[in-house]
Structure 1
C-alpha cells in the first residue's frame, strides 16, 4: 500500500509536479499561496480536480483555476464525459485526484442497513430501498481509500496518456493535501520530467 507524504514546504513537492497546476494546487491549499488582484488571474481552468462530495473538505484555490467534480470518493468512473469535456473543450492538461481518510464510500456493505433504514424513514418502500442499494452500491464501493485512489489514478493515466494525473490524499485532521510515496517513480506524460 502507498504511504502518504507530508508536503510542508515547496521543496517537498515531487519534481514532476513543480511548476505545474498540480504544484500550484498544493501551494494554494497547503501554503496559502496568495491569489490577490496583483497575482495571476486565471482566464480558464488549468486543472480538473476530482474529489469526494464529503462536506468536511474545502480547497483553498483561486477563482477560475479549476474545474471541480465532486462525487462519492472522488470516483470519476461515472463522470467520464465530464472529464473528457474538461480536457477536450476546457483545455486542462492536469488532473488532481483527491481521496481522503474516513471516506463514507469505503466498505459500503457495512452501511447497508443504515442506508436502507434511512430511505425507508423518508418514505421509500423497504424492498425498493434494498434493490437500490444492491444495484448501485457495487458501482460506488471503493474498498480501501488508498487502493482505490491508486487504481483510479492508473485508470485515468491509461485513458488520458498525455494528461498529468496526480493522486493525493486529504487528511481530515489537518485539512492538508498529501502526495503518495510510490507515485515518485511513475512515468509522466510527454513533456513532463519524472
Structure 2
C-alpha cells in the first residue's frame, strides 16, 4: 500500500485532477466540504458493491455503478450511456483494500455452503455457479486490477478523464495512486 497517496488537502491533488469533478469528489468525501446543489451528474463513479464503502457526495453529483471488485467489464453499456446520454466526461474508478473479489478461490467452500444454506441451492449447483463465474470476477490484487481497468477504460474512452482512486476501509478516505501521477 506504499504507492497510495492520502489526500488531506487540495494542494496534494495531482495537477491533472484540479478544477475537475475529481477535485470536487475529494472536497466532498475527504475534506467534508459543504455540498453544492448539483443539477446534473458531474461524473461517473465505478466502485465495489462492498457495504463498507460509502461516499459522502451530494445528490445528483454522480452516476454510481457498483459491482463486485469495481469490475466494470460486463456493464460497459451503462458507462457508455452515462457518457453518451448523461454527458459525463470524467470517471472515478474506485478500488479498495480487503476486497471480497480478491483471491476468490479461497472463498469457494464458504460460497458453496452459503448458497446451500441461504439460497436453498444444491451443493453441485452452487459449485458449478462458482466455477463458472469466479474466474470472470476474480480481481487478484486490488491495486493492480484498478490500474489495469483504468488503462483499459482509457483506451476505450480516450476523451474521458479516468481517475483510479483507492478507498481504505480503515479510515474511509480516498487516495490517489503514485503510479497514476504522470499518466494521461
How high is the TM-score relative to the length of structure 2?
0.97
Partner of 2:125 in structure 1?
128
Contact 1:2 1:146 in 2 (8 A): no
* TM alignment of 1:1-194, pairs within 5 A: 3-35=3-35, 39=36, 41-122=37-118, 123-187=120-184
In the alignment, the residues of structure 2 paired with residue 146 and residue 17 of structure 1 have an alpha-carbon distance, to the nearest angstrom, of 19
**Offset at 1:2?**
7.5
**Secondary structure at 2:132's aligned position in 1?**
helix
**Offset at 1:120?**
1.2
**Offset at 1:57?**
1.3
**Secondary structure at 2:181's aligned position in 1?**
helix
In the alignment, the residues of structure 2 paired with residue 151 and residue 170 of structure 1 have an alpha-carbon distance, to the nearest angstrom, of 17
* 1:11-32 per-position Cα deviation (integer Å, ceiling 9, x unaligned): 0011000110011101110001
**Offset at 1:90?**
0.3
In the alignment, the residues of structure 1 paired with residue 67 and residue 96 of structure 2 have an alpha-carbon distance, to the nearest angstrom, of 12
How high is the TM-score relative to the length of structure 1?
0.92
* 1:156-182 per-position Cα deviation (integer Å, ceiling 9, x unaligned): 000000000000100011000000001
Contact 1:2 1:180 in 2 (8 A): no
In the alignment, the residues of structure 2 paired with residue 62 and residue 43 of structure 1 have an alpha-carbon distance, to the nearest angstrom, of 10
* 1:14-65 per-position Cα deviation (integer Å, ceiling 9, x unaligned): 1000110011101110001111xxx4x2111010000111011111101100
Contact 1:5 1:179 in 2 (8 A): yes
Aligned residues: 183
In the alignment, the residues of structure 2 paired with residue 169 and residue 183 of structure 1 have an alpha-carbon distance, to the nearest angstrom, of 11
In the alignment, the residues of structure 2 paired with residue 128 and residue 58 of structure 1 have an alpha-carbon distance, to the nearest angstrom, of 33
In the alignment, the residues of structure 1 paired with residue 111 and residue 9 of structure 2 have an alpha-carbon distance, to the nearest angstrom, of 41
**Secondary structure at 2:100's aligned position in 1?**
coil
Unpaired stretches in structure 1, ≥5 consecutive residues = 188-194
In the alignment, the residues of structure 1 paired with residue 26 and residue 158 of structure 2 have an alpha-carbon distance, to the nearest angstrom, of 22
